[in-house]
Amino acid sequence: MITIHELRKKYIDFFVTKGHAEISGKSLIPENDPTVLFTTAGMQPLVPYLLGEPHPAGKRLVDFQKCVRTGDIDEVGDESHLTCFEMLGNWSLGDYFKKESIAFSWEFLTSPKWLALDPSMISVTVFQGDENAPRDETSAAAWAALGVPKDRIAYLPACDNWWAAGPTGPCGPDSEIFYWVGEGTPPALSNKGVDPKRWMEIWNNVFMEFNRVDEKTLVKLPAQNVDTGMGLERTVCILQGKKSVYDTEAFGPIIEAIEAVAGYAYRSDPEKDRSVRIISDHVRTATFILGDPKAVMPSNVGAGYVLRRIIRRAVRHGRKLGIEGSFLAKPAAAVIDNFAGPFPELAANRDRVLDELIKEEEKFLETLVKGEREFEKMLPNLLKNPQKVMSGRLAFKLYDTYGFPIELTEELASENGMKVNRPEFDEAYKKHQELSRAGSEQLFKGGLADHSEVSTKYHSATHLLQQALTIVLGPHIAQKGSNITAERMRFDFAHPAPMTKEELQRVEAIVNEQIARDLPVTMEIMKLDDAKAAGARALFGEKYEEDVKVYTMGDFSKEVCGGPHVERTGMIGKFRIQKEQSSSAGVRRIYAVLE
Ligand code: SER
């Protein structure tokens, strides 16, 4: 039976035989992309190339990419939803298009040499057409030519068959591939839609030839690109004839570790099984985030907050299984052992992953103790209520002030013969959610294309900043992270002490001097070793392809970097450092703006 590790390798091997260069190994934390907190699709690291930047590895690319999507986090616990998954992808940057892409997919899926899936269990969808693009007869004809019967090809509208990473950016019609997981023989497909309970989507071929600039403007990209994404866990589930991704070995060892700490046998109680699945999904996601070379730590903002929520939810479900104290390090170790082959960063960062998990768990357990104490204090008053109902507002206060989860408040209430006014709590909670969502939507405002010009300027400014820091502080100041929004840049670097006012002024002056010199910015593709020999700065611990892009800014800076960048430093604007502070032990953080 094929394993996830074998499927991943087969996919790469297949596309390598078709002339694709492997580019796997990108971080889960997108750099210089202010529109997302995590890499949510295989195409995310490729956005600049889909928009027209040349890729150093060529026009045919293949990779496996770890992705995190937390939009469906509340659905996790069923048999299929995941917050962390791997996407297998092949890419054509203006090379082949619909016909070849579809033929590759079909060959890989059905050829006895590759996956040998039964063609009669496969169906596909293509774009129905609208004012943006015509009905996709080219893709339908390509499927038909391979032997897919007409009644297994459905034409669906944009909500199903138009793919975009965000409100703006590269996009286009797609053709999706499904495998029959229902009972009996698969029926004919209709143009009304595909029943997701009986047809599992395993692969999506997106024909990216458009760029959405804003709500009203869709423009053609410089090239006709292909972006495909195959769900690794789902496909292996089908290949193994399993009903659930949680029954594959992507989760087996993690579930075993949870069974051992909980003293519970998976598949003996549906309610507990749900908790086991939630813990196993969440611990896998947290391990991948903490094990990333550009890891974020649990915090109260942005990606760190998502991580914190994931860990806390896992702890809470651990308590439901009767686990006391911290336990996540055990299933996390199982994740590391199982995935360190394809993701060596997990083994390299093993201590950090386990330490951070334990720290965060202990912190949360303290919160729980505090919440319980507050509840005890409220109890005498609560018991006076003749209806034995605790107000939702009070329950919300426990949640809001102490982070105490509503389910635990309900549990404590019920132990004392009471109920919580849940509709009232839900209302307060919804209001709170709306407020915080409004906040986080700010992050998506505008999307990729709107921000891209500003982001590019900030991105070029980080190169100047890094070189200026090297001049003022010394060659030890390795970059530890960078984050750009439309409003500011943040740059983390290794340095043992706070910077003095004079040092900051000098750095700022040097950057502005290089901007004033209006240096030309040029790009060259070369072998990584040659780039290093030429004195180009490269990130330590980052996985690069053999051929890399090197950006040079006049005689001032040379860095291995994916781009894009401004054409001349004069386009950057005036650079101003806002503050300098500690980021973590031995790492300083600078916030700066362009004016
Ligand atoms: N970008 C598409 C997806 O995520 C195909 O890779 O489904």
Is residue 127 within 8 A of residue 155, CB to CB? The reply is: yes
Decide: 446 and 168 in contact? Cβ < 8 Å: yes
Atom of ligand 1 nearest to the CA of 43: 1
Measured in angstroms, how far is the CA atom of residue 203 from the centroid of ligand 1? 8
Q: Which residues contact 70 (CB under 8 A, 6 or more apart)?
A: 38, 83, 306, 310
pLDDT (mean) for 204-218: 93
Lay out the sheet containing 489-494: strands in order across.
479-484, 489-494, 587-594, 575-584
Quick: pLDDT tens for 326-371.
Answer: 999 999 999 999 999 999 999 999 999 999 999 999 999 998 889 8
Mutate to test the pocket of ligand 1, among 87, 127, 203, 232 (most ligand atoms within 8 A of CB): 87
> Of all protein residues, whose CA lies closest to atom 2 belonging to ligand 1?
229
> Ligand 1, closest atom to CA 165?
1
3-state secondary structure of 301: coil
Nearest residue CA, atom 4 of ligand 1? 41
The protein residue whose alpha carbon is closest to atom 3 in ligand 1 is 229
**229 CA closest ligand 1 atom index:** 6
**Rg of the chain's alpha carbons, rounded to an integer?**
26
Q: For a ligand 1 pocket test, name from 40, 43, 177, 230 the mutation site with the most ligand atoms within 8 angstroms of its C-beta.
A: 43
Q: Where are the domains of the chain?
A: 4-246, 263-371, 385-441, 453-594
Ligand 1 geometric centre to CA of 221 (Å): 17
- First and final C-alpha spacing in the chain: 59
The residue whose CA has the least distance to atom 1 of ligand 1 is 43
Instruction: Give the pLDDT confidence score for residue 475 in this predicted structure.
Output: 86
Helix intervals (H) in 28-114 = 47-50, 98-110
For ligand 1, the distance from its centroid to the CA atom of residue 88, given in whole angstroms, is 9
What one-character DSSP code corresponds to residue 78?
B
Fold of 453-594: Threonyl-tRNA Synthetase; Chain A, domain 2 (3.30.980)
Count CA within 13 A, CB hemisphere, residue 567. Answer: 0
Pick the range with the lowest mean pLDDT from 219-223, 301-305, 528-532.
301-305
Cβ pair 49, 60 in contact under 8 A: no
- Cβ contact 486:480 at 8 Å: no
Report CA(196)–ligand 1 centroid distance (Å).
17
Residue 191 C-alpha to ligand 1 middle, in angstroms?
22
Pocket lining for ligand 1, CB < 6 angstroms: 41-43, 89, 163, 204, 206, 227-229
User: Given this model, what pLDDT does residue 450 score?
Assistant: 40
Model pLDDT for residues 230-248, shown as the tens digit of each residue: 999 999 999 999 989 999 9
Find where tokens 């469906």 sit: 72
Rounded to the nearest angstrom, the distance between the alpha carbon of 341 and the centre of ligand 1 is: 24
The tens digit of pLDDT for each residue in 104-118 reads 999 999 999 999 999
CATH class of the domain comprising 4-246: alpha beta
Amino acid at the residue 182: G
Ligand 1 binding pocket mutation candidate from 102, 174, 201 (most atoms within 8 A of CB): 174
Query: What digits encode the pLDDT tens for the residues 359-374?
Result: 999 999 998 889 889 9
Residue 258 — φ and ψ, nearest 5°? -70, -40
Which residues are CB-contacts of 149 (< 8 A; sequence separation ≥ 6)? Answer: none
| Same-fold call for 4-246 versus 453-594 | no
**Global pTM value:** 0.75
